[in-house]
């Protein structure tokens, strides 16, 4: 990724020099740097707020409550995983973090969930159906409140940043359901993974 950005910067400078608009390129770089700092600071505030809310939800038992509510769904989607597995709680936490648009917070939770799912995976050299399902769900990224996007819009001075909520909810709902359906369809092309009870 660094090479791609380096290539784009070099090409922009060369194109600006050739077309006699090097000053415009320099101004764009400077103004872009200024905006990025403003957006970063706005992200710090809103991310700190939502991460704090997630921590409170975890300590207060709200995450466990959410886990119980969605348990019938997770039992169906993750038939290979025992109900008492810590992976179920991690999956619920990851789902909650993604639902509130905290993709950065969901990443370490998702890694932990994958580690737990790997413990139930017989073939350690390949992903189990449960791991593929979890990856599909996380990639689709269902969001109730796109906190990160709202923070970016606030940072750039957008007048009505919450207007993104409805279209985001619609789009992520469609992609989330589509990802689950496709993952379930593809499961039929490979044999069902057998669980070893979490023993390595």
pLDDT tens per residue, range 33-55:
777 777 777 667 766 776 777 67
pLDDT of residue 59: 82
Count of domains for the chain? 1
Query: How wide is the angle at C-alpha 53 spanned by C-alphas 116 and 74, nearest 5°?
Result: 35
pLDDT of residue 74: 80
Residue 97 belongs to a domain: yes
What's the pLDDT tens digit per position in 56-92?
Answer: 877 887 767 777 787 778 878 888 788 778 888 788 8
pLDDT of residue 42: 67
CA 68 – CA 86 distance, rounded (Å): 13
Residue 150 belongs to a domain: yes
Percentages of the chain per state (helix, strand, coil), in multiples of 5: 75, 0, 25
What's the pLDDT tens digit per position in 85-120?
Answer: 888 878 887 887 777 766 666 777 888 888 888 888
CA 109 – CA 94 distance, rounded (Å): 6
Whole-prediction pTM value?
A: 0.62
pLDDT of residue 200: 43
pLDDT of residue 49: 73
Residue 54 belongs to a domain: yes
Residue 16 belongs to a domain: no
pLDDT of residue 27: 84
Residue 34: how many CB atoms within 10 A of its CB? 10
Structural domain of residue 148, as residue ranges? 39-187
pLDDT of residue 178: 93
Neighbouring residues of 192: CB distance < 8 A, sequence distance ≥ 6: 80, 129
pLDDT of residue 198: 43
The pLDDT-based confidence of 194 (bands split at 50, 70, 90) is: low
Higher pLDDT, residue 41 or 137:
137
Q: What angle, 0 to 180 degrees and rounded to 10, lies between the N-to-C axes of helices 129-140 and 165-187?
A: 160
Residue 197 predicted with pLDDT over 50? no
User: What does the block give as tokens for 37?
Assistant: 């700092």
Higher pLDDT, residue 200 or 75:
75
The pLDDT-based confidence of 174 (bands split at 50, 70, 90) is: very high
Burial class of residue 188 in the structure, from the number of CB atoms within 10 Å of its CB (0-12 exposed, 13-18 middle, 19+ buried): exposed
What is the four-CA torsion angle of 49, 55, 58, 63, rounded to 10 degrees?
30
Residue 195 predicted with pLDDT over 60? no
Residue 141 predicted with pLDDT over 60? yes
The pLDDT-based confidence of 191 (bands split at 50, 70, 90) is: low
User: What does the block give as tokens for 121?
Assistant: 């995976």
């Amino acid at each position: 990724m660094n090479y791609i950005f380096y290539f784009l910067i070099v090409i922009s400078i060369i194109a600006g020099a050739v077309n006699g608009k090097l000053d415009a390129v320099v101004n764009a770089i400077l103004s872009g740097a200024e905006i990025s700092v403003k957006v970063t600071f706005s992200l710090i505030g809103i991310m700190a707020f939502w991460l704090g809310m997630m921590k409170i939800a975890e300590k207060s038992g709200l995450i466990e409550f959410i886990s119980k509510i969605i348990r019938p769904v997770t039992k169906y989607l993750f038939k290979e995983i025992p109900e008492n597995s810590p992976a179920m709680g991690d999956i619920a936490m990851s789902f909650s973090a993604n639902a509130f648009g905290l993709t950065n917070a969901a990443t370490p939770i998702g890694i932990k969930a994958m580690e737990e799912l790997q413990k139930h995976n017989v073939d350690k050299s390949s992903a189990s159906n449960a791991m593929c399902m979890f990856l599909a769900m996380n990639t689709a990224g269902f969001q109730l409140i796109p906190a990160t996007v709202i923070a970016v819009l606030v940072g750039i001075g957008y007048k009505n940043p919450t207007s993104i909520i409805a279209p985001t909810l619609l789009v992520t709902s469609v992609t989330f359901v589509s990802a689950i359906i496709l993952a379930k369809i593809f499961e039929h092309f490979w044999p069902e993974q057998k669980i070893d009870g979490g023993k390595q």
